[in-house]
A and B are shown apart, each in its own frame.
Chain A
Amino acid sequence: MDFRLGEKELALKEEIRKFAEAELPPDLARNTLIDGEYRDFEFEISMSRKLAQRGWLVMSWPEEYGGRGASLREQTVYEMEIAYWDIPGAWMGISGTQWVGPCLMMFGTEEQREKYLPLIASGEKDGIWCTGYSEPNAGSDFANLQTRAVRDGDDYIINGQKVWTSAAHRARWCWLAVRTDPNVAKKHQGISIFIVDMKSPGVTVNPILNYYGRHHFNEVFFDNVRVPVSNLVGEENKGWYYLMQSLAFERRSLAPTIYGGFKRVLEELVKYAGQTEHEGQPLSQNPVIRAKLADLAIDLEVLKMFAFQIAWRISQGQIPVYESSRNKIMSDEVMKRVAITGAELLGIYSQVDPDSEWAKLNGTIQGAYLGFPGQAIAAGTAEIEKSIIAQFRLGLPKSY
């Protein structure tokens, strides 16, 4: 066992700190927690370009695709630091860097890799992706998806609707899950993955506002959208397997980012507790507050260990199954607990609009409070994740 970070990782942390201090406005509002993205898209994409220039954007990819073959441990540290400093533009939509690129490397054709990977690695707008998974009748029951793709000569014709599609209004491409064979014994069969140009005729993106009026996700309609056969990823009807891999990638990268982001929030709360007086003494001297912040630190430490443990498992050539679900659940718990405890510390100010000049800590806590219930649903609810753990780790019967 060895729980040290290597020199490489320590140097990377330091470089990212300097980068953040040089490149970010000092009062950058942490509105990603509730908006799901940065409101200033041009600023975000300018940061993507800079991350690409630094060789960070796709650091864990092989050199031939614009990366530098960084270890998963280094990637984990990178994700933690990006989130800690709240550096915009790291994911190339939802999510070019985290799963579209890696899945194309595993399952894509050479032509697809040569076309799409450099676009993502460039940090330019044409490298931004959205992910078309959920549908009105395919949420937790994801295999129930009904969007159809029918072969027509050298094309497929796609019809149907996706929903909760984050960043679709920004994306140049969609990583789309569709049904190519409706006559199958089990519904997870007959699913395929396509790459769809969001500029194709017949693609309509309608915003869905979240309960605080912010726009991050969308409904996307496909009305006789023609997609060339060359945009099929892997084999037809084998899409479920690729989807599971993509979700494993997604759930892996959650823990480092939630850890990094919420470690920062905890540090802000510690500072706030030291600077805020109540009944003649700083909040930081109140034993109840001390205990609550200590509990948050314990939860964060658990999340950190889980994040590195999964990176280590993958680096051993093993495929983590239940660990991704465990990390998703713990990530959700950390967000919730930090938000709720943070709101307790802010007291009556926790209700102030995060954009208002009345907001404490730049509105971070309100952002977290408003954001966590939605974030907890994305990429799989706690209930689904627990059922996965029961089935794949504890060997209990499938229950869904």
Chain B
Amino acid sequence: MDFSFTEEQDMLRILARDFLAKECPKAKVREMAKDERGYDPQMWHNMAELGWMGLIFPEEYGGIGVSFMDLVILMEEMGRNILPGPFFSTIAICALPLLEYGSSEQKTKFLPQIAKGEAIWAFALAESSGRYKASEVKLRAVLEGTNYVLQGYKLFVTDAHVADYILVVGRTGESERPEDGITLFMVDAREPNVKMEAIPTIGGDRQFKVSFDRVAVPKDNILGKIGSGWDIADFILQRAAVLKCAEMSGACQAVLDMTNSYAKERIQFDRPIGSFQAVQHKLADMLIDMEAVQYLLYQAAWGISVGSPLPWQISAAKAKANEAYQRICIEAIAAHGAIGYTMDHDIGLYYRRVKAAEFAAGDTDLHREVIAIGLGL
């Protein structure tokens, strides 16, 4: 067992923290929540220059070729700062399966664009129930000539409005096992028959209903094998769960730091409120929650880094993060008192994003069920 990061990983963390502190202060986060695009193209460009988009791509696709753990470190820092924009949907969700399952033509075409910051991707899986289950995939894809024609709609598609491509999970066949007959399509988001309708959310991010009305997708734009798409969806959800967990871990750290500082500054009864045990014990509980998330996250991420991910370890991390992030935010607001309930205070920015994070890549119930199966239940 070794809990240490490499020197390069420590440097990446410091670099990311400094960059985001400078380029993405909370004023920027607030501005982007009102911005139509929801992200700053200049910052996006600068991130690409730093090599963040292609962090784990091999050099031949314009990447740097470091490990999944490095991406986790980067995303912890993004979560700490609440970086707005399509990094998560483009890199954490869509780029990883492209790298793993894409044909060499597909990789050569798409990955360098992503690495340069020239292409944004979104992922469309959930439908009316909002659940990430194979049985919920109803969007039909029917072969007509050399194209598949997509008909149906997807909900909660994050960053669809700025996406160049949408990775769509569609149904190409019916069988007893709902996992069979699912196929992933890379759809040009600017096709006229792709229609979007915003779903306003409390987190200030950008989510959409995306409708596909007889959208033709050439066979070349199928990712992986026809009918075996659920394996890829699983691959995506596992990695996205860990990377979302990384964002949440960073956010938990930020919220704890903020609350701890406040407890030292805020004077009541002639002393800092942090001198009262009621407040101290709240903070101690927050710390334990935060470290629980961190270590479960690192264990799960390490499993992916070395190529042997354990589904139940990933689920343990995400289920814990779902609970801990929410609890830490609620306790933090309580420790701040009324100031924590105001628009001007940063704590609300984190609390408002709890639900988006919780339901990304699987809610707590879904992950508990993975663990239950892992236990042999």
Contact = CB atoms under 8 A, between A and B. Distances in A.
Interface of A: 1-5, 73, 266, 270, 273-274, 284, 289-291, 293-295, 297-298, 301-302, 305-306, 308-309, 311-313, 316, 326, 329-330, 383, 385-387, 389-391, 393-397, 399-400
B311 to A, nearest CB: 12
A396 B275 contact: yes
A24 to B, nearest CB: 23
Nearest to A73: B1
A contact face: mostly helix, strand, loop, or mixed: helix
B8 to A, nearest CB: 13
A73 B260 CA distance: 33
The 6 closest A-B pairs by CB, nearest first: A390-B280, A305-B295, A386-B284, A294-B368, A294-B371, A290-B372
B4 interface: yes
A25 B147 CA distance: 68
A3 B319 CA distance: 20
Given A294-B369, A330-B288, A390-B280, A396 B274 contact: yes
B343 interface: no
A298 B375 contact: no
B272 A397 contact: yes
B377 A273 contact: yes
A329 B288 contact: yes
Contact of B281 (A289, A326, A390, A395): A390
Contacts of B277: 383, 386-387, 390, 399-400
A297 B316 contact: yes
Given A298-B319, A313-B3, 9 more contacts: A2-B1, A5-B1, A73-B1, A294-B319, A302-B292, A329-B288, A383-B277, A394-B274, A397-B275
A326 B289 CA distance: 10
A308 B275 CA distance: 31
B contact face: mostly helix, strand, loop, or mixed: helix
A4 B319 contact: no
A293 B377 contact: yes
Q: In the complex, which of the residues B298, B299, B320, B368 has the most CB atoms of chain A within 10 Å of its own CB atom?
A: B368
Interface of B: 1-5, 69, 260, 263-264, 271-272, 274-277, 280-281, 283-285, 287-288, 291-292, 295-296, 298-299, 302-303, 305, 312-313, 316, 319-320, 365, 367-369, 371-372, 374-377
Given A290-B369, A297-B316, A302-B296, A396 B1 contact: no
A295 B369 CA distance: 10
A400 B284 CA distance: 15
A1 B2 contact: yes
A383 B281 contact: yes
A270 B283 contact: no
Contacts of A326: 287-288, 291
Contacts of B264: 395-396
Nearest to B69: A1
Contact of A394 (B284, B302, B303, B365): B284
B279 to A, nearest CB: 8
Contacts of A291: 365, 368-369, 372
Contact of A399 (B276, B296, B377): B276
Contacts of A311: 1
Contacts of B369: 290-291, 294
Given A1-B302, A2-B2, A390-B284, A301 B313 contact: yes
B281 A386 contact: yes
Nearest to A313: B3
Q: In the complex, which of the residues B260, B280, B312 has the most CB atoms of chain A within 10 Å of its own CB atom?
A: B280
A295 B3 contact: no
Nearest to A301: B316
A172 B291 CA distance: 41
Contact of A389 (B2, B287, B319): B287
Given A284-B377, A394-B260, A399-B275, A386 B1 contact: no
A284 B312 CA distance: 17
A321 B367 CA distance: 33
Contact of A293 (B2, B260, B375): B375
7 contacts: A2-B2, A3-B2, A270-B377, A302-B292, A305-B292, A386-B284, A396-B275
Q: In the complex, which of the residues A270, A301, A313 has the most CB atoms of chain B within 10 Å of its own CB atom?
A: A301
Given A270-B376, A298-B371, A397-B275, A3 B1 contact: yes
Nearest to A72: B1
Contacts of A312: 1-4
Given A298-B319, A305-B296, A394 B281 contact: no
A301 B284 CA distance: 20
A80 B277 CA distance: 33
A293 B372 contact: yes
A199 to B, nearest CB: 43
A382 B368 CA distance: 27
A305 B271 CA distance: 37
Contacts of A330: 288, 292
A278 B263 CA distance: 50
Contact of A390 (B271, B283, B376): B283
A73 B2 CA distance: 10
Contacts of A395: 260, 264
Contacts of A270: 375-377
Nearest to A397: B275
A395 B367 CA distance: 35
B263 A1 contact: no
Contacts of A289: 377
Nearest to B370: A294
Given A291-B368, A394-B260, A3 B288 contact: no
B295 A306 contact: yes
